[in-house]
A and B are shown apart, each in its own frame.
Chain A
Amino acid sequence: MAIHGNTHGEVAHHSSSIKPYIVIIATLFVLTVITVVVAQFDFGNWNIVVAMLVASVKATLVALYFMHLKHEDLSTWIYAIVPIFLLAIMLAGILIDNPYRTKVSPVKPRVVMSQGG
């Protein structure tokens, strides 16, 4: 079921079937239903973990099959993955920093002191 993005010049030999796209879109709809159903229950912190995992599976399917990333070369894969990596660094840095921030922040103690005095 290869959809060759690079077959140019020569007669491209494409599959006449759109079946793989139908399988992917059906899977995406099923995953959307799963996301909505899971959100109706309260699993505490696990809700967002499950929601983000399911969203990532959906995003991966869209990228691999709809955007044909599956058939792209390494350099395209690097462009696809680097922004996610950068987002991860930014998220990790900010979220690790945040819990310690109030303890060393000069702003909050001053408020406490002014209330005390």
Chain B
Amino acid sequence: MSSSVTSIDEDPTGPPHVHHMDSATAYSAAKFGMWLFLATEVLLFAVMFTSFALFRWMYLDEFHQASKMLDWKLGALNTSVLLLSSFTAALAVDAAQKGNNKGVVRNILITVVCGFGFLIIKGIEYSAKYQHHLFPGQEEYLKHNTFFGLYFCMTGVHALHVVIGMAILTYYALIPAMRGRFSSRYYTPVELGALYWHLVDLIWIYLFPLLYLVG
């Protein structure tokens, strides 16, 4: 750890203390890799969206009925929370590009807090479903299991992404920024973390109207 010689070709996600810059090649390769990963993430959700489309077509009335049991106001609130968090994630990248570590800390903190807010609201919704016996395994659920099965599956996998996104942003962006690691020459982790977070927002942009509004 006392080595004073650091390689420029090291893994950009490696220990930040050996990094003060990132070669242009490593930067574009890392970002390209992130976009490839995001493409696979879209495909993961694509399967669920296709299932939703198929079952909605087959059981349109049941879907309309079940969709009305969701509280669209909480869904809209969560949409706003997530949009705001995406906005601050974009501002964090902007701050990192300018070497403004304090700006990164402030904006990533807001993003992560919004992530918590999203999960809390989602938890309130899930517990309301539990109280109305619409949770998997309960009797009301069995009457609407096609819609609510997809609802829990899609929002559950999405919520998992929110948790992972918060962890990534905290570990790779927030903590290094608090130590002043980023500069206009090195901000790859902030940008990649933000890309992941935007994807999480992007998925929710479709989930909200599909599940809460049109059913």
- Residues of A participating in the B interface, judged by any CB pair closer than 8 Å: 3, 5-6, 8-9, 11-12, 14, 16, 18, 21, 24-25, 28-29, 32, 35-36, 39, 47-48, 51-52, 54-55, 58-59, 62-63, 65-68, 72, 75-76, 79-80, 82-84, 86-87, 90-91, 94-95, 98
Interface string of B87-112 (1 = CB under 8 A from A): 10111011001100000000000000
Q: Are B50 and A14 in contact (CB under 8 A)?
A: no
Flag the segment in B25-33, B142-150, B158-166 that touches A.
B25-33
Known A-B contacts A28-B83, A87-B43, A94-B50; the reply to A39 vs B24 at CB < 8 A is: no
Q: Are B79 and A32 in contact (CB under 8 A)?
A: yes
Q: Are B49 and A39 in contact (CB under 8 A)?
A: no
Q: Are B201 and A21 in contact (CB under 8 A)?
A: no
Alpha-carbon distance A63/B199, docked complex (angstroms): 8
Alpha-carbon distance A11/B205, docked complex (angstroms): 36
For residue B81, give the distance in angstroms from its CB to the closest CB of chain A: 11
- Name B's interface SS: helix
Q: In the complex, given contacts A35-B208, A95-B57, what are 20 additional A-B residue pairs having Cβ atoms less than 8 angstroms apart?
A: A8-B22, A14-B184, A21-B94, A25-B84, A29-B80, A36-B213, A39-B72, A48-B209, A51-B210, A51-B214, A52-B206, A52-B210, A55-B205, A55-B208, A55-B209, A59-B205, A67-B195, A67-B199, A80-B38, A90-B47
Among B58-99, those with CB < 8 Å from A are 58, 72, 76, 79-80, 83-84, 86-87, 89-91, 93-94, 97-98
Is B202 on the interface with A (CB-CB < 8 A)? yes
Alpha-carbon distance A68/B98, docked complex (angstroms): 16
Q: Please list 8 pairs of residues, one from A and one from B, whose beta carbons are closer than 8 Å in the complex, sorted by A's number.
A: A6-B28, A32-B83, A35-B209, A62-B202, A66-B198, A76-B31, A86-B43, A95-B57
- Residues of B participating in the A interface, judged by any CB pair closer than 8 Å: 22-24, 27-28, 31-32, 35-36, 38-40, 42-43, 46-47, 49-50, 53-54, 57-58, 72, 76, 79-80, 83-84, 86-87, 89-91, 93-94, 97-98, 184-185, 191, 194-195, 198-199, 201-202, 205-206, 208-210, 213-214
Q: Are A14 and B94 in contact (CB under 8 A)?
A: yes
Q: Are A79 and B36 in contact (CB under 8 A)?
A: yes
Q: Are B184 and A12 in contact (CB under 8 A)?
A: yes
Alpha-carbon distance A68/B192, docked complex (angstroms): 11
Residues in A neighbouring B98, C-beta threshold 8 A: 14, 16
Q: Are B50 and A76 in contact (CB under 8 A)?
A: no
Q: Are A84 and B42 in contact (CB under 8 A)?
A: yes
Name the residue on A nearest B25 (C-beta): A8
Known A-B contacts A9-B185, A66-B86, A90-B50; the reply to A82 vs B39 at CB < 8 A is: yes
Q: Are A51 and B46 in contact (CB under 8 A)?
A: no
Alpha-carbon distance A62/B87, docked complex (angstroms): 9
Alpha-carbon distance A80/B184, docked complex (angstroms): 26
Q: Are A91 and B24 in contact (CB under 8 A)?
A: no
